Amino acid sequence: METVTQHENKRQFKRWHKISLMLIAFLITAGIGVLIFVNGYIDRSIPQTNGSIKIMGLKAPVNVTRDESGVPHIEASNSKDLFMAQGYIQAQERLFQMDMARRQASGTLSEVAGIKALDQDKYFRTLGLRKAAATSYNEYSDEAKQVMEWYADGVNAYIKQAKNNRALPIEFTLMGAAPDVWTPIDSLTIGKYMAFDLGGHWERQAFHYYLLQNYSQEKAYELFSSYPEEAPTIIKDEELNIDLSFKSAVIPHAFNGSNNWVVSGSKTKSGEPLLADDPHLGLATPSVWLQMKLHSPDYQVSGVIFAGIPGIILGHNKDIAWGVTNTGPDVQQLYLEKRNPDNKDEFLYEGRYEKARIFKETIEVKDEDPIEYEVVETRHGPVLSEFAESSGEDTVLSLRWTALDATTELEAILEINQASNWNEFEKGLEKFLVPAQNFVFASKDGTIAYKANGKIPIYESGSDALLPLEGWKEENEWKGFIPFEELPTVINPDKGFIETANNKVVGEQYPYHLSNNWAQPYRYMRIEEVLQARNDFTKGDMKDLQMDQVNLQAREFAPMFLEYVGSKRLSERETEAVNLLKDWDYVDEVGAPQPLVFHTWMNMIMDQLYSDIPESMDRLFKGKGQTTDELLRKANAGKEAIWIEEQGGLQDLIQETFTQTITVLTEEYGEPLKKWAWGDYHKVSFEHPLSSISFLERFFNSEAPIPVGGSQVTVMAASYKEEESGLVNHGASWRFVLDGTDFTSASHIVGPGQTGHFRSPWYHDQREDWVNGNYHDTSLTKPEGETLILTP
């Protein structure tokens, strides 16, 4: 029989159990409510693709039809409405990316990212990309300025609506930020940033300088990008610490480049030209490119553009097609500047001290007090070493760079969008000054052509561009710029094709110096090998070539390495690896073990060769692969190679790194070796900039990385971060193939997709297409798909 106390306990338990169930029900309901609210909030910013939206300032309705790949086809009855709509649609798809891009280039990331972005902001304030953009704006025609204003009006229309509707992309909320009004200077600043990303050669000059400060001349010269004819003048280490000078510099990716080629009708099955282009840039979410089609009475053009800029920079219209690769000329020059010991703002020039220009910058920092920062500019340009503490007492480094001049690339883009033949296209190129690019061209009349285009300085000799020059001597100034009509140009060559892959573009007969720094030639050699072989090419063949994974570096070096390994007593695992490499077809295929062995081996060789170079300077060692290849060739030919001899000679270097390679890979992937796969290490993810925050990864990068073939030396470019387990972060950011039988249509891949919103069907829909080479076709004619009508 229950006691009174037991009965009371049961009653209390039932009461609390009921309360607990009610509380749980409340929390679940509240949680669902919160989830519904959050989902609704996120979904507000998904781009509207049908119905209608009113935009103040339009003259007439504009139709925006998105095809099955999410490509916006904008059809307007006049140019004003066309570019307003382009600005609006770009903001719909990529507003967060646009805002971050202008902040990065302008040096204002700290406002939203906090103190961790301060050094980067200081660097870009020092470079002065935004100042250069503002100066450039004054050089544009009234017509081009008007286009920029119309475009900005469209962006701002979207920003205003998104703020009013609380529909800004979720990234702004996560960062506690909101976009400011868009201006034409923002567009031009992003353009200047692309010139920065495609860079120049100041990093290699600084690296050469470091070598001469720290090694014998003979040893230093071995790592020069070109061997100097005579010893340069050296500033002693105590006067300028080159290592400290660039400790916080932002360095563009070493493999920024591209492939492009154009084939004449004499070598195609149809008798019409073929053109292919795949620019190699960072691979991330969203893509650096946004594909669009623009249609109005004055424009009918399709292709890609950087989010934040009007027009189409690469693509085609109904009469012509074009593509680019990076020329990589020496357009950046470091100058040693002697400071007046009695006045820190004066620098020596021809026996007299000149006053530098001083710019006072205030950098706003999230959750911190503003930082007052001073930028110093000599007659040559900004003093880069100023932001890196006291790198020199009375000697500093300044940068002369063509991109800091007033330039007019957007004007060129608008003109070439409307061109109908080579003469009109080349005329437009006169205004495309930075970055210097290799343009390939095809037209409806069968013309194929090439031009290394841009503002390229004249050096008296190539050795002048190898090191920082003494800024106090007039003789070291640039001697002007290569005249436009004398830039390297090829029209309808006898061999029937033109290809470029960041390779050396001129021979010794060319009267001007272009560069000391060229990409490893393997992509170029492979493209030429394929294009020389036949005279019946089709569009499908061009796609296959863009996805080609033949590794010519391995074809050259793997047999050489195996000769040296053959004299060594091998373990069972090493013997298995040797047999695998002997049977290799030199294709960096995703499922093959040999690419994993070869690339790891090459990395081991470089790590051992340059182990005493500090990381701060190693990142300035652009073209390291090309330099290493030359050292290996020299040593194999019995010539002096000090860096290799100090490792005990080529045989010791090869044998030791081979053993290390097999040991490391076995520890990572186990046995047997034949089950290893390149794709176990080499994978692509297309990371969103906020996915590094762990709880956001499931939203912005929900899919696992995809195993992928190719490498940094194959035509299918897929460069990876060695320190991050082979994650591919650089390669063909856009693939484009056009068949001259129909200039109104072309094939594209924009990895990972068109939009920046993670809930859009076009967010990551082209990830696997990028890996497997599945193209989508886009036409200048009206497509099928949902249509959004923008109305006045």
Catalytic residues, by residue number, are 258
Residue with tokens 């507000």: 44
Tracing tokens 């290569």 back to the chain, one arrives at 482
Using CA atoms, how far apart are residues 317 and 416, in angstroms rounded to an integer?
10
**CB contact at 8 A, 315 and 778:** no
**Cβ partners under 8 Å of residue 389, min gap 6:** 244, 247
Q: What span, in angstroms and rounded, lies between the C-alpha atoms of 678 and 599? A: 9
Q: E strand or H helix at 516, and its extent?
A: none
Q: Which two tokens stand for residue 158?
A: 């979207």
Q: Are 641 and 631 in contact (CB under 8 A)?
A: yes
Torsion sign across C-alpha atoms 116, 119, 124, 128: positive
Lookup result for tokens 């190693």: 618
**Closest by Cα among 81, 99, 71 to 162:** 99
**Helix or strand holding residue 618 (H, E):** helix 615-618
Residue 410 neighbours by CB distance under 10 Å: 26
How large is the angle between the packed helices 522-532 and 539-546, nearest 10 degrees?
Answer: 160
CB 763 within 8 A of CB 752: yes
How far is CA 240 from its chain centroid? 31
Q: How many alpha carbons fall within 13 Å on the CB side of residue 587?
A: 11
The radius of gyration computed from the CA coordinates of the chain, to the nearest angstrom, equals 29
Following DSSP, what letter does each residue of 382-403 receive, concatenated? Answer: BBGGGGSS-S-SSEEEEEEEGG
Q: Are 217 and 467 in contact (CB under 8 A)?
A: no
Token pair recorded at residue 679: 């794709």
Could you give the 3-state DSSP secondary structure of residue 340? strand
Do you find a cis peptide bond into 286, omega within 30 degrees of 0?
yes
H or E segment and range at residue 671? none
Torsion of CA 17, 20, 26, 29, to 10 degrees: -80
330 annotated to a ligand binding site: yes
Tell me which amino acid residue 435 is.
P
Question: Angle, nearest 10°, between helix axes 624-636 and 650-669?
Answer: 130
Q: Is the Cβ–Cβ distance between 36 and 42 less than 8 Å?
A: no
C-alpha span between 702 and 687 (Å, rounded): 10
> Are the C-beta atoms of 178 and 111 separated by less than 8 Å?
no
Cβ-Cβ contacts under 8 Å for 207 (sequence gap 6 or more):
223, 617, 620, 621, 622
Task: Give the integer Cα–Cα distance in Å for 363 and 385.
Answer: 18
Q: Where are the alpha helices (DSSP H) in 176-292?
A: 184-197, 202-214, 217-222, 242-245
Tokens of 327: 């020329």
CB 306: neighbour CB atoms within 10 A?
A: 20
Cis preceding-peptide flag for 752 (omega within 30 of 0): yes
Quick one: how many helices (H) and strands (E) in the chain? 25, 28
Query: In whole angstroms, what is the distance from residue 458 CA to residue 460 CA?
Result: 7
219 contacts: CB under 8 Å, gap ≥ 6: 211, 642, 643
Indicate the annotated binding residues for Ca(2+).
Answer: 330
Indicate the annotated binding residues.
Answer: 330
